[in-house]
Chains A and B, each alone.
Chain A
Amino acid sequence: MKLQRFAVPSLLAVMSLLGCKLAEKSASPAATPIQPAVQYFKVDEAHVGTIKGTIRFAGKKPVAKLIDMSEDPACVEAHKGKAYDESLVVSRDGSVANAFVYIEKGFEGKTFEAPTTPVMIDQRGCWFRPRVMGIQTGQPLQVVNSDPVTHNIHPMGTVNREWNHSQGPGDEPILRKFPKTEVMIPVKCNIHSWMHTFIGAVDNPYFAVSGDDGSFTLPKLPPGTYTLAVWQEKLGTLKQQIEVTEGHDSVASITYKGQ
């Protein structure tokens, strides 16, 4: 009831004259006409362009730290081989993997329909896979546990609700949504302190995670001027304006300076 009351404050103000009981009763049916049907923005795929880019790091390549799972021997076994810290993965030529790229500005006033296909997080080898992922607001997130041990996934949203959920070996997948834009939502496992992943929740479908070669592609963008934002766990956020024209690849070369 509380939520519905928040949804219809103006209605409630009128209704309060009639007493609380009545207001509560009428709140749900009356709420429907107040929310107009959402007009989703449809991209005209005949007239689109693409952003292609690479992300580099000019600083000293970090030495990958070995992760110690010995505290939970079942994890050591499940991981099969050594586990290295992935908070900053830079290849020999300076390409940055696992950077999150998205369109931060340029779609004001447009609402995109959320896809129904879920984004997956797999807990495998006491490790979140992938390390960084994007999701559209309202799109389902599906969390699976492929491990022989229990995990307790804990997305620490500050804009979205923070939650945590236990998932034992062979348990059903957990399905959740993030209704609001939030870049990034840090995720940890409440049981295994070394497990981390990051979710970028964006209200448009134009986001990507850079590959091992630092590259990313945002295809099928309507022509226009956008703010492209890049987030990296250790290096922070960089932004740049970018122009997309029909039938062309706009190239974004993004370089994080080293300290």
Chain B
Amino acid sequence: MNRLLTVLRCTVAATLLVTISGCKTAVSAKPIGPTFAIQPPLGLPPLSIPPENPPTVASIALGRALFYDVRLSNDNSISCATCHNPVLNFTDGNKVSHGFGGHVGVRNAPPIVNAAYLRLQFWDGRAASLEEQAAFPISNPVEMNQSHDISVAKLAKDPEYAALFNKTFGPGGVTLQRIENALASFERTVLSGDSAFDRYLFRGERDALTPSQIRGFRIFIDTKRGNCSTCHTVNDTYALLTDGKAHNIGVGAGDAGAFSDMGRYPQTKADADRGAFMTPSLRDVARTAPYMHDGSLKTLKDVVDFYAGGGNSNPYLDKEIRTIVLSAQDRQDLVAFLESLNGTPPANVGPPKTVR
């Protein structure tokens, strides 16, 4: 039935507009009106924004409404915010997420905070942009479990929404591409910076960090000690705390390099990507327990101890992961440093008042 609907709609659109590029592009999904300049907080670089989706005040507001709207799920019970809850720093606080009908997923929900800077989305990097990413959870059977046609139809039935879509993108009503674009624009405003660490490093406030945190930072960037910034990068003028690449650090490794989750490997088929996952940013990390793609580490102390021991050996382990000699004091300092990465929470990103 859904299939049929799509086919029908595509045919209609195609005949009307004589387009060969498919249904998605039949109606413009580029927001109209003046572009809103998103100002990244201290410690973050300028945002790169796809030219075909410049954020506007209207598209950001629409994306925010959609992000909190349970109608994007099959039984109207789950919104994006169910798993990316602003109260839990846009995570769900679970080891792995629970979605439609109580289905338990296989991966830990990452915060969407600063996802705007990721070249590749998801733990395995399988989506190339926020726009592309948004469609995945909606139709994923263990997440929101709703076909895109139904989502579009459900929203189109609401006259208020239909008007908002037209106001934001021009005539054409609700389309999947418009939903994706609005969600992406909203997510681009969910930025976290201006942490104690940023004020210390980028504004020279020497007492923004405690002595223990400063020692921890030195360990973090010292390639002979923590070696953390090799992957969780810190630049001269900003710090994303991720290199945007996938690495095998041994999380989830079984006997002789068996992995229940192969990570990035299915995307690239490169041996080095077996059991490799995208380096997460460490911003706000003290607010996003539990840790790692499988949520297997409960505390930051557990994470630091994991690294201190050299992780889990396996044939694909990244060469930058090795036993590092850190005393208990060093490990404590490293944890204290990670706690300094809590940013100033972004404004206007909670549930909107108008749309339920």
Contact = CB atoms under 8 A, between A and B. Distances in A.
Contacts of A189: 309
B94 interface: no
Interface string B298-312: 100110011011111
B302 A152 contact: no
Interface in B279-315: 296-298, 301-302, 305-306, 308-313
B312 A165 contact: yes
Interface residues of A, number: 24
Given A71-B327, A72-B328, A74-B328, A150 B309 contact: yes
A164 B298 contact: no
B306 A176 contact: no
Contact of A164 (B297, B302, B305, B312): B312
Contact of B309 (A71, A72, A162, A191): A191
A190 B328 contact: no
Contacts of B308: 150, 152, 190-191
Nearest to B325: A193
A73 B329 CA distance: 10
Contacts of A161: 256
B323 interface: yes
Contacts of A166: 250, 305-306, 309-312
B255 interface: yes
Interface in A134-181: 149-152, 154, 161-166, 168-169, 171, 175-177
A154 B323 CA distance: 11
B305 A150 contact: yes
Q: Is the interface of A mostly helix, strand, loop or mixed?
A: loop
A102 to B, nearest CB: 25
A154 to B, nearest CB: 8
Contacts of B312: 164-166
Contacts, number: 60
B247 to A, nearest CB: 16
B306 A168 contact: yes
Q: How large is the interface on B (under 10, 10 to 19, 20 to 34, 35 or more residues)?
A: 20 to 34
A146 B256 CA distance: 25
A169 B302 CA distance: 8
B223 to A, nearest CB: 19
B302 A150 contact: yes
Contacts of A177: 255
Contact of A190 (B253, B302, B323): B323
Nearest to B304: A150
A189 B255 CA distance: 18
A163 to B, nearest CB: 5
Nearest to B314: A163
A161 B256 CA distance: 9
Interface string B306-337: 10111111000000000100011100000000
A180 to B, nearest CB: 14
Interface string B53-65: 0000000000000
Interface in A51-102: 71-74
B310 A190 contact: yes
A71 B325 CA distance: 12
A208 to B, nearest CB: 27
Given A71-B328, A191-B308, A168 B313 contact: no
A151 B309 CA distance: 7
Given A152-B309, A190-B310, A168 B327 contact: no
A171 B302 CA distance: 11
Contacts of B306: 150, 152, 166, 168
B313 A162 contact: yes
Given A150-B302, A151-B309, A168 B297 contact: yes
A190 B327 contact: no
A259 to B, nearest CB: 33
Contacts of A72: 327-328
Given A152-B305, A190-B308, 13 more contacts: A71-B328, A73-B328, A150-B306, A150-B309, A152-B306, A161-B256, A163-B313, A164-B313, A166-B305, A166-B309, A168-B305, A177-B255, A191-B305
5 contacts: A72-B328, A152-B305, A166-B311, A168-B297, A190-B309
